[in-house]
Structure 1
Amino acid sequence: MKKILSVIKLACIAWIIVPLLTGCVSTKNVPYFQDISSAETSVIPNVSTFKEPTIQPDDILSISIFTIDPTTSMVINQIGTQSLALNQATNASNSGFLVDKNGEIELSVIGKVKLLGLTTFQARDLIYAKAALSYKDPNVQVRYANFKITVLGEVKSPATYTVPNEKVTVLDALGMAGDLTIYGKRENVLLVRDNNGEKQFARLNLNSADLFKSSFYYLKQNDVLYIEPNKGKAASLNTARAQTITLVGTALTVIIALISRL
């Protein structure tokens, strides 16, 4: 009888301890860039270089042309203004000039301009050259209006973000999403990228300074970052079950203690 009671006691203790252990979250891998020296300054050689994205069909460009005569500027930018008003009326987030399937946009007065394969800097120079044929000293601004990145998984604010500047890094994206939660796997972040119609996947380690050397450190349009949950997240989802097991184990322990005294 005593042996049976001892076995039951050990089982009850295990029932109580195991849920408590599985509910703990290890903080070992929480800090970023753990391999960077603790010295006051550190230098990381061969940091990834930024490559400007090129304009592709279905991109939306924010284009503004300003001239000495403000009324002339209003005429040139008429299409963009109408697009902005339409998007505001429909609560859409993007406004600007849509690049068609031929890689062209149509500007009021200036006409069609082919921008396929150009950077925004090159597009600005091309539009300036065309505008300068009709207007004196035009000022041209070109940027993406739909440069989007998506951050999913264990971050505080998962969402799709429209970025006004195409030079955006993995850390910028995580900052916009409010950083990882305590349950996010920092050593195994998944990046999904469209590459000429194919899906490209990369794994990034936020615990290592090698992130700065990765060719994926700078994000491209429509990139998706997914932060998967760690074991602590799975344990937290079973909190109710763990609490029930603990209560049952405690009750059995009390019952065994009472029986053993009889």
Structure 2
Amino acid sequence: MSIYFFKNKFYFVLILFALFCLSSCQTKKDVIYFQNAKNFETIVDTDTFKAKLKYGDILSIYVSTFDLTVTKPYNILMESGSSGQFITYLIDTEGNIDYPVLGKVKLVGLTIEEAKELFKKKFEEGQLLKDPVVIITFTNFRVTVAGAVNNPGVYPVSGERISILEALGLAGDLSIKGRRDNILVIRDFNGSKTYTRVDLTSKEVFNSPVFYLTQNDYIYVEPNNSAVSGASGDSRIGTIISITSFVLTTALIFVTRN
């Protein structure tokens, strides 16, 4: 009777051990994106996000009119006689750039479109240029993606905005060790830092204030429990199978001998 009780108790402990091991493995809910999105569901994008100019931004500014000779003072090449790049302009700690003829122009906090309109207004009010076309582009728009992604790094951005999904795509997407539900975006604007968490397993990510990134945003993907413990999902399952097999073999030997 005591041996029978011992065997049953042993099997009970073995089953609990197996259940514990299996419960510690990752599930689909840990890795699937946009889990609450329904079939044929339509989400209207009402986001009107536009990146605003920050302290430390570096801009390329090109001015054109019908008479290109009058725009030469504003389109200065980096090297005299060169057909290469034009000089760029740094937004200083007071929010200004030092622009030819116009002098100090305050740009911090404006969108690219607002900055273009400001230049046009200054050119026309000062009777400097007629019907000018102003082209302004970022030269230092980049984002950093770090943590549990396949290719962490600093990625340059062409254009005026990029979504967090696109940035993670540039970094090769999250690895199996990355948490999808707690991604951190660190943003620096005018000397202040903001910290915002994003959950990629929910469709609400599209409504996040950091869905569209700004210049020099930092995205950090937190490692999941399996990564912290030093084991990936596959190796962890292999370990569980090995341990379970060992315990079962030991149990069979014990039962056979008794």
Give the TM-score taking structure 2 as reference length: 0.71
Distance 1:44 1:109, change over 3 A: same
Q: Which runs of 5+ in 1 are unaligned?
A: 89-94
Distance 1:125 1:158, change over 3 A: same
The CA deviation at 1:141 is: 0.3
The question of whether the paired residues in 1 share the 8 Å contact of 2:54 and 2:190 is answered with no
SS at 1:64's partner residue? Answer: strand
The CA deviation at 1:145 is: 1.8
Larger mean CA deviation between 186-195 and 205-214 belongs to 186-195
The CA deviation at 1:169 is: 1.7
The CA deviation at 1:123 is: 1.1
The CA deviation at 1:166 is: 2.7
What residue number does 1:36 align with?
Answer: 37
| Counterparts of 1:99 and 1:207, CA distance in 2 | 38
1:125 counterpart (117, 120, 125) = 117
1:208 counterpart (195, 202, 205) = 202
| Counterparts of 2:24 and 2:229, CA distance in 1 | 5
Query: Aligned runs of 1:1-262 on 2, under 5 Å?
Result: 25-39=26-40, 42-44=41-43, 49-70=47-68, 73=71, 75-78=73-76, 81-82=78-79, 96-132=88-124, 133-234=127-228, 237=231
The question of whether the paired residues in 2 share the 8 Å contact of 1:48 and 1:212 is answered with no
The CA deviation at 1:227 is: 1.0
SS at 1:193's partner residue? Answer: strand
Q: Which amino acid aligns with 1:60?
A: I
Question: Identity, % of aligned pairs?
Answer: 36
| Counterparts of 1:182 and 1:141, CA distance in 2 | 42
The CA deviation at 1:63 is: 1.0
What residue number does 1:92 align with?
Answer: none
| Counterparts of 1:158 and 1:196, CA distance in 2 | 26
Q: Which runs of 5+ in 2 are unaligned?
A: none
The CA deviation at 1:54 is: 2.9
What residue number does 1:91 align with?
Answer: none
| Counterparts of 2:49 and 2:103, CA distance in 1 | 29
Give the TM-score taking structure 1 as reference length: 0.70
| Counterparts of 1:48 and 1:135, CA distance in 2 | 37
The question of whether the paired residues in 1 share the 8 Å contact of 2:150 and 2:174 is answered with yes
Larger mean CA deviation between 108-117 and 146-155 belongs to 108-117
SS at 1:172's partner residue? Answer: helix
